[in-house]
Amino acid sequence: MLNNIQEFYNILPLIIIGGLILVSLIIEMYSESSEKILPWLSIIGFLFVGIYSLVEVGRTSIVLQNMLATGGVVNIFWLIFNITAAIVCLLSINYIKKYGAYYGEYYIIIQTSVLGMMLMAGAKDLIVIFLGLEVMSISFYVLAGFNRNRSSANEASLKYFLLGAFATGFLVYGIALIYGKATTTSIDAISLNFSALSGNVLFLTGVLLFLIGFSFKIAAFPFHMWVPDVYQGSPTTVAGLFSTAGKAAGFSALIVTFAALFGGPHGHLFTPYLSAIAVFSMLFGSIVAIMQTDIKRMLAYSSIAHAGYMLIGLASGNIDGVAGIIFYLAAYSFMNLAAFGIVSILEGKEETNLDLDSYAGLGTRSPFIAGLFALIMFALAGIPPFAGFFGKYYVFIAAIKSDLTWLAMVGILSSMISVYFYLRLVVIMYFKSSETEDKVSYTASEIIAVVIAVVFVIILGLAPGSFIDLVTKFL
Amino acid sequence: MTLEIVLFVIFALVCLVSGILMVTRVNPVISALFLVVNFGSLAGLYLTLNAQFIAVAQVIIYAGAIMVFFLFVIMLINPEHEKRFLEYKPQLKIFAVAIAVLVFLQIAYIILFSKPSEGVSREVAASVKAGTIEQIGRELFTKYVLPFEAVGYLLLSAAIGALVLAKKKFK
Amino acid sequence: MGIGEIILISLVKILLIISLLFLTVSYLTYFERKISAWVQNRIGPNRVGWKGLLQPFADVFKLMLKEDIVPEKADRIIHLLAPMIALFVAFSTFAVIPFGPEVHLFGYDIPLVVADVNMGVLFVLALTSLSVYGLTLAGWSSGSKYSLLGGIRSSAQMISYEISMGFSIGGVLLLSESLRPIAIVESQSGWMWNAIVQPIGFITFLVSAFAETNRLPFDLPEAEPELVGGFHTEYSSMKFAAFFLSEYANMIIASGLIVTLYLGGWQIPYIDLLGLPSGLVALLQVGAFIFKLVAILFFFLWVRWSLPRFRYDQLMNLGWKVMFPLSLINIIWVALLIMIFGL
């Protein structure tokens, strides 16, 4: 129960999103044109919650019987999730008409997924993490298969569901083992007793299973096999949501659980495991992405590689690493959203215009979009002065501070490999002539969404220090 | 022997036998029915541990709801094809046995060596109190109010999703 | 009381209840036929015994003498098991329904309920959730499409209405603050019957009870014009009789539950003001329970012969879109009552 009115204000973002879901449901039930009302309602709700979280960022507190933390890093995550979701809604307005899923429920499920993410980021208890993850994942399974008349969407949804359920099994088993030894699910209590518990085989097995479960959700190397198929089969805007907010939510839960150990004697306990999957994710993602001909699959492998870079921050086991991850997540969210947004604009009916060759000649056909896309590719490749560069920079610096220079070197190597396939797309757009001379048609809402994302990428690239300062203040 | 031990032996035997029968039956409907029996005996075991609410929930949710849907699905799709699938790929059975052995060994290790119950109070009155529905309800609405609400939204999103995927009339 | 005495008393109670139930169930069939005759302006059974009173026994003899037919494609064991499950579930539910107050008999304090379980209501819900198996398995094991359709319809129907039933009970539990049926009865002293305090919950529970017992207007699982006989198409002889009995037993249990949860159970309002001897009061109260039970049973039969059958989609719409929200409204109503009047 809430003890005072301030606690109510602190969890207001959750209450607003929860209420938004119910209101949207009622609108969907009684309105004939819910698919026209709901996107704008969702965008307004997400923007309000995002801005509110930013304004209230200073009010750190732990509420609801030590179940939820608010303020500080949690609010920064809430900001990332909500802005991302708002951009996805803006992109979707036209896209889902094209995709054949023009229904109001689409936005309701995006809202529930955001609620799940917000729970994960604020969790102070393993139960809340698990429930938040499930709210998010189940919404994602539905979003992936939203148009059930498409076999590719069915395949994506079923694969995501089966493998996701498997990963959840690992996670819950891990939590059960942790609870069995620690006799509590409170994260604070477990991290306080970590020295006493860490000698126990069962406890460590539990933590490892927990990590494996989340490795799946953030699409890290041995548990990545769902990513390309799911991104390819899902609606493009939804794939954008999976790869940005979904990944950020997975990392937020990892940060919530592991950051408490950093700086202590056990901060580097999981470094071997984390650096191993980081290395494999980076190299595997970058190398396999070179061989892709489908743009969505290419972005999927690039997303695996980016998960690897972010894991470096976690592996380095210090506060700078965490701050680096959060910056990286914010930057990556906007970069990838812009990329998926442009892909969704260019995508034709029935999954056409998705192979790399269909981007040929875009530089002459539609210079504005091509320019934006090229800029995003530079940012994703980590070329300064865009946000992608500083994300990698902070993460690598953190690794070097923890004497993991070799890991940073592997990261730099992998970034150099990835430059190839990002820039190849730019080359195709500008230097390869296309067969068609069709202009690209787009609506205002789509282009505004992409431009907003790009503006954030540029701002984060020009003034990375202020964001990092904000994050570090609360760590 | 106390009544508790007699009950435990009975329920454990039923549980074990129905579990084995469930795996070995050829007809999936019969297997599902043995799983129901298995859940029932598990509910009995919970009762001997003074977990009344969990026992009843086990019957209502697992035996009464989930297994009915399992039966529904099995009855409607009549999985002849899946039976042949196992005949084509007998190595799947080895995989299953290996995982079962692994889990069994782990649980045996937990019980024999790790002694997770060491730190837990053995007071009967306390465990009876903890198992009552009044106590569980009080905990749910005070300490665990956030997880409780989260489960509500989890079920809501799953229900919306299921309806969209299964029933939505596509234009 | 020693453990031996407890077991003895319980055995006596069980025997009494089971034999009474069997008798009531068989005479319920008689009443059904008499009432249908009354509704349709006929005479009804009048040949066997005085006014046809021995008719139920004649029916049982007829069924026993019939040939037991098992279809060729049937799964024999489950075909046999299904009616047993139906009958077992129907009869064991009565164990937790109190039919009278605590009485002093031969020096013992005996509560007039077979098992005074502290989560009796949940016990009832658990058993009703199991009762689906009887019908579903009967439908499947017969190897006939009509049976399968009937079985599946019945499970869908029972699961759908279990929800509104459970939520209507929620309102009762809010007031009684206990899951013990005896405590629920005692919480309705005087005129504080739940049927009066929470009429919406009473109506939703009543409708759900009709659906749970597969009675008209919700007898879709055996809708004769569509499904021949539904889940029991392929049953004959005593197995058929078992389904028949379980249907009527379910009606009695549903009525017993309605009486216990909503109509004050065995209680007669303000009877303690009269100052009668306690033995007489207990007897009158058992009588009151039986009177209320019979009244509800009459209502069941009356409805059956007055209303037409629902269509399947109407049934589902009613369950999910009307009864379920109403039962939720009922919970809010009761919560408001408690908040405002501190009931």
Answer yes or no: is pLDDT of A45 > 90. Answer: yes
The structure's pTM equals: 0.89
A215-218: which pairs have CB atoms within 8 A and are 24 or more residues apart? A215/A277, A216/A163, A216/A164, A216/A166, A216/A167, A216/A170, A217/A133, A217/A137, A217/A164, A217/A167, A217/A246, A217/A247, A217/A249, A217/A250, A218/A247, A218/A250, A218/A251, A218/A254, A218/A307, A218/A310, A218/A311
CATH number of B1-78: 1.20.120.1200
Mean pLDDT, to the nearest integer, of C246-265?
87
Q: Is residue C120 part of a domain?
A: yes
Q: Is residue C245 part of a domain?
A: yes
In this predicted structure, what is the pLDDT of residue B84? Answer: 67
Tell me which of A245 and B84 has the higher pLDDT: A245
Residues 64-83 of C with CB under 8 A from B: 75, 78
Tell me which of A343 and B82 has the higher pLDDT: A343
Instruction: Report pLDDT digits (tens) over A133-185.
Output: 999 999 999 999 888 888 888 899 999 999 999 899 999 999 998 888 888 88
Answer yes or no: is pLDDT of A425 > 80. Answer: yes
In this predicted structure, what is the pLDDT of residue A182? Answer: 84
Q: Is residue C216 part of a domain?
A: yes
Instruction: Report the share of chain C in percent with pLDDT over 70.
Output: 95
Q: Report the candidate in A234, A381, A407 with the shortest Cα–Cα distance to residue A321.
A: A407
How many CB contacts within 8 angstroms connect chain A with chain B? Answer: 94
In this predicted structure, what is the pLDDT of residue A200? Answer: 81
Answer yes or no: is pLDDT of B171 > 60. Answer: no
Question: Domain residue spans in chain B?
Answer: 1-78, 132-171
In this predicted structure, what is the pLDDT of residue B15? Answer: 93
Q: Are A181 and A200 in contact (CB under 8 A)?
A: yes
Report the length, in residues, of chain B: 171
Of B120, B151, B171, the CB nearest to A131: B151
Tell me which of C9 and A378 has the higher pLDDT: A378
Q: Are A209 and A174 in contact (CB under 8 A)?
A: yes
Of C75, C122, C155, the CB nearest to B56: C122
Instruction: Report pLDDT digits (tens) over B114-167.
Output: 666 666 667 777 777 777 888 888 888 888 999 999 999 999 999 999 988 887
Question: How much is the ipTM here?
Answer: 0.92
Q: How many CA atoms lie within 13 A of C298 on its CB side?
A: 8
Mean pLDDT, to the nearest integer, of B51-69?
86
Calculate Rg over the CA atoms of chain A.
Answer: 21
Four-residue CA torsion sign, C149, C154, C155, C159: positive
How many of the other CB atoms lie within 10 Å of CB of A19?
A: 11
Q: Average pLDDT over chain C, rounded to whole?
A: 83
In this predicted structure, what is the pLDDT of residue A238? Answer: 92
Maximum mean pLDDT: which of A387-396, C66-75, C231-240: A387-396
Lowest mean pLDDT segment, chosen from A84-98, A119-133, C84-98, C233-247 = C233-247
Q: Does B6 touch chain C (CB under 8 A)?
A: no
Answer yes or no: is pLDDT of B109 > 80. Answer: yes
How many of the other CB atoms lie within 10 Å of CB of A336?
A: 29
Of B143, B144, B160, the CB nearest to A109: B160
Q: Is residue C16 part of a domain?
A: no
Residues 9-28 of B with CB under 8 A from C: 27
In this predicted structure, what is the pLDDT of residue A309? Answer: 92
**C78: containing domain:** 69-341
Distance (Å) from the alpha carbon of A154 to chain B's nearest alpha carbon: 10
The encoded tokens of residue C304 equal 């059956």
What residues have CB less than 8 Å from A339, skipping those under 6 apart?
A: A240, A299, A373, A376, A377, A380
For A209, the 3-state DSSP assignment is: helix
Instruction: Report the share of chain A in percent with pLDDT over 90.
Output: 50
Distance (Å) from the alpha carbon of B92 to chain C's nearest alpha carbon: 29
Instruction: Report pLDDT digits (tens) over A325-356.
Output: 999 999 999 999 999 999 998 888 777 778 88
- Cβ-in-10-Å burial (0-12, 13-18, 19+) of A17 comes to buried
**Overall domain count for chain C:** 1
Q: Is residue C172 part of a domain?
A: yes
Answer yes or no: is pLDDT of A436 > 80. Answer: no
* CB within 8 Å: A134 and B154: yes
> Chain C: residue nearest B63 by CA?
C130
| Confidence band, pLDDT 50/70/90 cuts, at residue C1 | low
Distance (Å) from the alpha carbon of B52 to chain C's nearest alpha carbon: 8
The encoded tokens of residue B163 equal 């309806």
Taking CA atoms, C202 is separated from A219, A332, A462, in Å, by 52, 57, 67
In this predicted structure, what is the pLDDT of residue C81? Answer: 85
In this predicted structure, what is the pLDDT of residue B117? Answer: 64
* CB within 8 Å: B153 and A138: no
Instruction: Report the share of chain A in percent with pLDDT over 70.
Output: 99
